[in-house]
Amino acid sequence: MKKFKLNGDKLVLVAAIVAVFILFTALNSNYLSITNIINILIAASLVGLVAIGHTYLIIAGQNDLSPGSLAAFSGVLAATLVGYGIPFVLTCIITIIAGMLVGLCNSFMVNKIKLEAFIATLVSQSVIRGFAYIICGGKPVAISDPTFLLLGKLRIINIPLSVWIMLLCIVAFGIVLAKTKFGRSIYAIGGSKEAARLAGLNPQQIIRRSFLMMGALCAIGGIIFSARMNSGQPAANVNLEFDAITAVILGGVSFAGGVGDMGGTFLGIILIQAFNTGLTMVNVPSFWQYVAKGGLLLFALATDYVRKQRREKELLELSMKNL
């Protein structure tokens, strides 16, 4: 499961992506245009960065509901810092450190206070969103720094820099997950935290590192998003984490932990963003879009349940053969 293989589940994902493109192209001929494909990739870049972090966390048996708030906070913080004349590179470093500190707080609540990740990150979701409003007085912070704005405008081979950053992160974090001791440790604690501990691993340390990575990725995403929007917006990225979680589960990562890979996550990212963009292009009302996205998340969870049942059946049959 750690290597990207075009198995049955991924073939279904590819077929679903093709079906989404065919459906929305039939409803709007501009859907398949080069401009719209690039727009889908641009929109997918932020979801993609968060989905990378969720891939690690969910495989490790954890979760995070704070990315949307943290991305908004990071964008506002970065815009505020450059507004005070702090150099762009230093601003990025400070913002990423701030994101990692949020990840550290999340891991502290999970590891030391023993809160469920769902509850711990729900707390930070509210607190961080509040800080985003506090530091800017509830108003968007305009960005005038040319280097900062270039981050949102620069294109390489006509593809925005944000897309290249997402693709680079998917490849890099995918290699780490599939090929390194740390990646194997993620799978181990997701399969059984106690068994991993008895095998000499430190589950708390692995969980802490995973939350730190999520914090850094959310901060990077928030910086890129604010550069695209030319401002830091405290109200931005609401429900970002649900799109990312849906993409990850659709991509084959088990909500129970221990199963999944970055290749499936990438396909899930493309599927959900193609779906979301299609809904907008065919003028589906925003409140019906919420219903559709909720239905897609339900489908993803139901699919995960079916996959889990199938895996358990296969393991049972294998154990019976070995008796």
pLDDT tens digits along 241-296 = 999 999 999 998 988 888 889 999 999 999 999 999 999 999 999 888 889 888 88
Q: Find the helix packing angle between 34-59 and 67-83, rounded to 10°.
A: 110
Q: Is 70:99 a contact under the CB 8 Å cutoff? A: yes
Residues 110, 205: Cα–Cα separation, whole Å: 11
Q: Does the structure show a pLDDT above 70 at 228? A: yes
Judged by DSSP in three states, 232 sits in strand
**Sequence-ordered list of residues with C-beta below 8 angstroms from that of 155, at least 6 positions apart, any chain:** 161
| CATH topology (fold) of 8-322 | ABC transporter involved in vitamin B12 uptake, BtuC (1.10.3470)
- Of 4, 54, 24, nearest to 243 by C-alpha is 54
Judged by DSSP in three states, 145 sits in coil
DSSP run (H or E) holding 141 = strand 141-142
More confident call, 321 vs 219: 219
pLDDT tens, residue by residue, 146-161: 999 999 889 999 899 9
Q: Does the structure show a pLDDT above 60 at 5? A: no
Q: Does the structure show a pLDDT above 90 at 182? A: yes
Specify the pLDDT at position 88: 95
Q: Does the structure show a pLDDT above 50 at 2? A: no
Residues 233, 238: Cα–Cα separation, whole Å: 11
Residues 231, 223: Cα–Cα separation, whole Å: 10
Average pLDDT, the chain: 91
**Sequence-ordered list of residues with C-beta below 8 angstroms from that of 200, at least 6 positions apart, any chain:** none
Residues 211, 149: Cα–Cα separation, whole Å: 28
**Tokens coding 199:** 């095998």
Residues 152, 146: Cα–Cα separation, whole Å: 10
Q: Does the structure show a pLDDT above 50 at 1? A: no
Q: Does the structure show a pLDDT above 90 at 323? A: no
More confident call, 218 vs 13: 218
pLDDT tens, residue by residue, 201-216: 999 999 999 999 999 9
Which ranges of 65-160 does DSSP label H, i.e. alpha helix?
A: 67-83, 88-111, 117-136, 146-153
pLDDT tens, residue by residue, 189-201: 998 888 888 888 9
Residues 258, 260: Cα–Cα separation, whole Å: 7
Q: Does the structure show a pLDDT above 80 at 314? A: no
Query: Which letter does DSSP use for residue 31 in this model?
Result: G
Q: What HEC string does 149-217 produce?
A: HHHHHCEECCEEHHHHHHHHHHHHHHHHHHHCHHHHHHHHHHHCHHHHHHCCCCHHHHHHHHHHHHHHH
Residue type, 6: L
pLDDT tens, residue by residue, 59-88: 999 999 999 999 999 999 999 999 999 999
pLDDT tens, residue by residue, 94-137: 999 999 999 999 999 999 999 999 999 999 999 999 999 999 99
Q: Does the structure show a pLDDT above 60 at 3? A: no
Specify the pLDDT at position 199: 87
Domain segments of the chain: what residues? Answer: 8-322
